[in-house]
Amino acid sequence: MKKFKCTVERTYDYEIEFDETVWTPDELKNWSTVFATVDSLENLAEILAGYKPDYESGEFIEGFGIPMINGKEPFVFKNEEINKDININILSTDQSVDVEEII
């Protein structure tokens, strides 16, 4: 049986938008008491961007709910609410794969 070591690298480029009337400094403080310490929307975007590759469009992301994707509501099951105060624009996704045979 032949074996191969495969290394997959992915790069994601996102543009993340937050409704500043919802994500106020007070809301960031409240969010920080439950999830992770943030002091700005930039910090919040960094956390969300780190989580996003592990979730498909329409999946619940802990601390963020189900965000809009590319300005549209993603497919969700009944009774699940979309978090319309967050939008993730997916700008690009690139992937490279290196394969080497293991002897």
Task: List, as one string, the DSSP characters of 20-83.
Answer: TTTS-HHHHHHHHHHS---SSHHHHHHHHHHHGGGS-TT--BTTTBEEEETTBPPP--TTPPEE
Q: Do residues 86 and 73 lie in contact, with contact meaning Cβ atoms separated by under 8 Å?
A: no
Whole-number percent of the chain with pLDDT over 90: 85
Tokens at residue 95, please?
């992937």
pTM value is 0.85
pLDDT at 56: 81
Q: What is the mean pLDDT of residues 11-25?
A: 97
Structure confidence at residue 76 as a pLDDT band (50, 70, 90): confident
